[in-house]
Amino acid sequence: MNELIINNRFYAPYYIFIRCNKSQIDSIFERLELNKWTKLKQINSDKDIALTHKLFYSIWENGWLQIFDDWAYSLWYDSDFKSLLTELCKEFEIYYCSVGDIDSSYEFSYYKHGELSREYILDDSISGKEFIEKSYGQQLPFEDELNLINDEHDKILFIASKLGINVSNNINLINSYYLKDRDLETLF
């Protein structure tokens, strides 16, 4: 059973979508310092391994590089990665989003024409009270439809699909990477 592909979508806590040409991927990986990660010979989609080892996954489809974080939030917690991503946002159309691990929190940021166009952070406290922590920029035309969607993953991927990103992923096209200082090849 593939625990990271649910309903033909990659299930991750943090997604980064970068509109680019396929020829730009190596340069983007280098600028985000993802070139220090090693590509695995085959994807490992076992959620237990994704929870305990630093992995990330990627696919390029229909003009968008899609990067999916592991369930340890390795990229999300990496402040250097986030700074590099912010720099990259000045040059590329980028949508990135994440969900909470134990609650219904979610957030997204959308950069277009080198500027932050929209940012939204909904925090869900353990007590079950939701509050908007941040709302910047003009609401996207389809954002009102989020009220009709219950699941936070569905919400952030709905936005991605409305931006023209294909969120139905073919497991055979996804690459997985691990940090070079780890010996994960023995796990697969």
Three-state SS at 176: strand
d(CA 176, CA 55): 7
Whole-model pTM: value is 0.87
Q: Which regions of the chain does DSSP assign to beta strands (E)? A: 5-6, 9-10, 14-19, 37-39, 55-61, 64-69, 94-99, 106-112, 115-124, 130-136, 175-179
pLDDT at site 168: 83
- Bridge partner list, 94: 18, 111
pLDDT in tens, 27-76: 999 999 998 888 876 655 554 444 445 678 888 888 999 999 988 888 99
